[in-house]
Amino acid sequence: MLDIAVAQLNLTVGDLDGNVRQMTTAARRAWEQQADVVVFPELALTGYYPGDLLDDPAFLQRTEAAFHALLLASRQMPGLHWVVGLPVRHAGPGHGLHNALHVIRGGDILLTCAKQLLPTYNVFDERRHFDPGPDAVRLLAIRGVRVGFLICEDGWNDSGQSYVANPFERLRDAAPDLVVSINASPSNIGKRRQRHDVLGQAARRHGLPLLYVNHVGGHDQLVYDGASFAVEADGRVVFEARRFEPELRVLRFEQGRFWLAGRNDGDAPPAVARDGLPRSEFYRRQIVLGLRDYARRCGFADVVVGCSGGIDSALTLALAVEALGADHVHAITMPSVWSSEGSVSDSARLCQRLGLALHTHPIGDLVAQYASGFASAFGTPLQGLALENVQARIRGTVLMEYSNQRGPLLLTTGNKSELSVGYCTLYGDTNGGLGLIGDLYKTEVFALARHLNAQAGAGSATATAADAQADADDTGPIPRAIIDKPPSAELAPGQRDSDSLPPYDVLDEVLKWHIEGQRLAPDELPGVQARVAQLQATPEGEALVQRVRQLIARSEYKRRQAAPVIRVRGLAFGSGRQMPVAAKHF
């Protein structure tokens, strides 16, 4: 019998002292609950991922000092085994570092296990800093239970399709009673089910129960959803920790089964649902946690958003209010001569519902001065696209003025559809430090707005019928007029997005296929693939597809200079998608 504490923590990259405090506190709670083992996530000591901090000798020295503090703390908790993820120096060629874990007890290191499979794809680049660990199985007997160890990617190659080595298979040959896997698995739509499927199939194939411990929290573009879990030898997921929240839970492992430890010893954990959160609810929780942690870790208490009266800024404001509270969100409307009456009145109604003060900063006079100065200097009128863009850039400047003067973080409001095709103004609406909805396609923006209204009106996070009812009642945080109005940048008379772009329900399908392709969630991939194939079956449809591909390629330079966006899908703009700017893409 073994009592194991799952320490699913929200740790900060580089905050070694803070991470030591969190880990020590969690270990003490585990020890007080008479756990035999406490398991922390991958690279828990440094946070995941330290990046080029690992190239700084001073950072590595501080990391080793922090680990020494953990060793000293472990002496105060006799008998408790700590599974700690951290970078460990090694001798020999290469970078001189392993992504590793130590098992410690009473001030001593009992076992070291180094990660063998180092991912270098999408958002991962571990080969930049680490060397693969040796092809060796590491087992440790704890209270008569033979425990084997894996580190994240080492458990994901049981199909043998990604790497030559299969650490899981080698571990099976050593016949442990239990496998403990420490992880830093960022969240995106469909990732929870993918984890359950991959690790569940491996556990069933090898007949090995497995405990999977993950990070929680937002780090730059990435959000970790926690959702640590236990799988029994038949492949069934029998325990799951909370999603998007830290948690410490003690499980009892006995005779190949997982049970709840503590007050109700011997009780089976609650059943784990096959399906996760509904798509829009997943997006909401991921973005809210991502913003909350980004602001906190970067030292921002407040945010500011340009409020146009459109759906993108409305959704951004609603999510920001949920993450930080209305007192910490600032909204500014900046009407020009082309702004519709509704852009101001809808902004006012939105802010009233969200409990925000709305600042008004008209830009008509500034635009006129720019136009006059341009004509005087260059002998030609400022008109067309240049005049449209100067309005966006003036608005971006006003927002940055406010950010500099008052201190809040400026949030950009561009969605993935617009960022994909360059329907945005560099140094204008792309200004800011973080984009909340930059990994949501426009159709998903509308769906999430309706979902927020449904939650507010019906107290439900699931029902599609509630979404429709909320629109009908117009009682949610986002006024129905904002959701219903045709999308427009309002930079020219009568301008509509549809004047420049295909309908969003068509555009988004093409974008999904050509940006994400096989990385789409399994429930989405077949439908997207079929709809794009149907388009390409006609000359008009094929021409549309090629035009969209061209727009994506031509806009790469804008995305290279844009703010980071919170990743919610399998492939987001940013570190996970590295495309050249000066290139012929097709």
The residue among 576, 282, 552, 300 whose CA lies nearest residue 440 is 282
The identity of residue 512, as a single letter, is: K
Residue 365: Cβ-neighbour burial (10 angstroms; 0-12, 13-18, 19+): exposed
351 is catalytic: no
Strands 409-412 and 329-333, by their bridges, are: unpaired
Helix (H, G, I), strand (E, B) or coil at 337: coil
Give the C-alpha separation, 132 to 510, whole Å: 39
Contact by Cβ (8 Å): 257, 266: no
Cα-Cα-Cα-Cα dihedral sign, residues 136, 141, 144, 145: negative
d(CA 488, CA 401): 25
The DSSP bridge pattern shows strands 257-260 and 247-254 to be antiparallel
Is 115 considered catalytic here?
A: yes
**Cα torsion 429, 432, 435, 438: sign:** positive
**The one catalytic residue among 113, 115, 424, 444:** 115
Say which of 32, 113, 126, 152 is annotated catalytic: 152
Closest by CA position to 396, among listed 431, 369, 364 = 431
Nearest to 420 by CA among 542, 535, 509, 492: 509
Q: Give the pair of three-digit tokens for residue 335.
A: 């009407």
Q: Is 254 a catalytic residue?
A: no
**Ramachandran sector of residue 517 (left: φ over 0; alpha: ψ -120 to 50; beta: rest):** left
How many Å separate Cα 347 from the centre of its chain? 28
Assess contact for 243 and 306: CB atoms under 8 A: no
| DSSP string for 294-312 | HHHHHT-S-EEEE--SSHH
Amino acid at the residue 530 = A
Residues known to be catalytic: 42, 115, 152
